[in-house]
């Protein structure tokens, strides 16, 4: 206060209870808005689950029941009685797992080259490749189908997996992260006589676990939920993925909304488990691509 008087400036008033109450009121309003938005976002998910547990005869009841009484497993019993449900689930698991593993390897290897290796046209090649993300997937749908047809990969696992193993987003994410790794570590590996692939596997990959986890989660969720490409590339019930198979149920039983919601709930279980286990990595994924070297 003495310093303020000497400088000729009157000291400002200390924050009183009114100011504290005002701040607390603002926090309460913000929390209320966020809570309302969260409820609005979760309502479709809640209604899906509730409808799945309703008795088939009560699904279309008006006014609707927000909490069905009694809870019924009839829709799930009808769903699990479908002979191909297990095959569809297995197909989705194989495709999602294979694409995730292949993308982690290809993206990390390409990201390491773009981030730490010097070669002619590196920046031009990188931005041309990353720029392909601006092209909608529907534009390349027919060329991809023709290519898979020429390779005789229609209605096969190869046709479902190969077009997705080198996604530009994965390369961009890994390159941006690996740029932050200190070059001294790579130099130390070279001094110790490690090969280029040895440096990549023993030094670069262990340090890149956060980015690998983020890319793996995003890729698995994306491939598990993919619908358009599996619908186009497969033509038999045995090769359908879970999302396509469940969509086909709507043609077999058009008005069985309880069955369809049970199928959607069943398909959401793996994604929910992945989110609950690795949820901290989703927040990391929002910023990991913005790191600068």
For the entire predicted model, the pTM comes to 0.80
User: What's the rounded mean pLDDT across residues 264-284?
Assistant: 80
Q: By the 8 A CB rule, do 170 and 223 touch?
A: no
CA-nearest of 30, 2, 46, 15 to 268 is 46
Is the per-residue pLDDT at 281 higher than 90? no
Q: Residue 3 — pLDDT band, cuts 50, 70, 90?
A: very low
pLDDT at position 58 is 72
Buried residues in 26-46 as b, exposed as e (16+ CB within 10 A): eeeeeeeeeeeeeeeeeeeee
Check residue 6 and give its pLDDT. Answer: 45
| Contact assessment for residue 240 and residue 248, using Cβ atoms and an 8 Å cutoff | yes
Share of the chain above pLDDT 90, in %: 25
pLDDT tens profile 200-249 = 888 888 888 888 888 888 899 899 999 999 999 999 889 999 999 988 88
Mean pLDDT of 104-108: 92
Measured CA to CA, the distance from residue 31 to residue 22 in angstroms comes to 14
Give CA–CA dist 167/135, Å, rounded.
Answer: 12
pLDDT at residue 18, rounded to an integer = 52
Tens-place pLDDT, residues 141-181: 999 999 999 999 999 999 999 998 888 999 998 998 888 88
pLDDT for residue 65 is more than 80: no
pLDDT given at position 290:
52
> Which pLDDT value is given to residue 273?
86
The residue ranking higher by pLDDT, 43 or 280, is 43
Better-scored residue on pLDDT, 29 or 24: 29
Answer for the pair 205, 215: CB distance below 8 angstroms, yes or no. Answer: no
Cα(118)–Cα(230) distance, rounded to whole angstroms? 38
pLDDT at position 1 is 43
Task: Kindly report the average pLDDT of the chain as a whole number.
Answer: 82
Is the pLDDT reported for residue 287 higher than 80?
no
Lowest mean pLDDT among 11-15, 101-105, 134-138: 11-15
- Cα–Cα distance between 72 and 103 in angstroms, integer? 41
Q: List pLDDT tens digits, range 246-260.
A: 888 877 777 778 888
CA atoms of 261 and 221, how far apart (whole Å): 19
Is the pLDDT at 73 greater than 50, yes or no? yes
* pLDDT at residue 182 in the model: 83
Mean pLDDT across the stretch 21-42? 79
Are the CB atoms for 104 and 215 separated by under 8 Å? yes
Q: How confident is the model at residue 21 (pLDDT cuts 50, 70, 90)?
A: low
Identify the weakest region by mean pLDDT among 101-105, 130-134, 189-193: 189-193
| Alpha carbon distance 221, 196 (integer Å) | 32
Separation between Cα atoms, residue 244 and residue 21, nearest integer Å = 54
Quick one: pLDDT at residue 179?
87
């Amino acid at each position: 206060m003495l310093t303020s008087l000497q400088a000729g400036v009157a000291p400002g008033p200390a924050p009183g209870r009114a100011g504290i109450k005002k701040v607390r009121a603002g926090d309460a309003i913000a929390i209320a808005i966020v809570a309302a938005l969260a409820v609005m976002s979760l309502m479709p998910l809640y209604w899906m689950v509730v409808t799945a547990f309703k008795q088939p005869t009560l699904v279309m009841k008006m006014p609707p029941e927000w909490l069905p009484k009694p809870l019924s497993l009839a829709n799930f019993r009808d769903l699990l009685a479908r002979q191909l449900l297990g095959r569809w689930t297995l197909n989705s698991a194989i495709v999602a797992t294979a694409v995730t593993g292949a993308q982690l390897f290809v993206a990390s290897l390409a990201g390491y080259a773009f981030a730490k290796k010097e070669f002619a046209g590196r920046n031009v090649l990188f931005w041309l490749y990353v720029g392909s993300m601006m092209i909608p997937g529907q534009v390349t749908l027919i060329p991809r189908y023709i290519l898979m047809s020429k390779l005789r990969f229609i209605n096969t696992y190869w046709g479902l997996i190969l077009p997705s193993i080198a996604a530009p987003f994965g390369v961009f994410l890994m390159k941006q992260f690996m740029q932050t790794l200190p070059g001294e570590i790579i130099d130390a590996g070279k001094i110790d006589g490690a090969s280029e692939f040895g440096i990549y596997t023993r030094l670069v990959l262990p340090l890149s676990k956060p980015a690998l986890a983020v890319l793996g989660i995003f890729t698995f969720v994306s491939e598990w939920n993919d619908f358009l490409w599996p619908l186009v590339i497969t033509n038999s019930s045995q090769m359908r993925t879970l999302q396509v198979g469940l969509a086909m149920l709507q043609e077999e039983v058009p008005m069985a909304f309880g069955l369809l919601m049970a199928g959607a709930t069943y398909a959401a279980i793996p994604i929910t488990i992945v989110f609950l286990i690795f949820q901290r990595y989703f927040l990391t994924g929002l910023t990991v691509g913005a790191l600068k070297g």
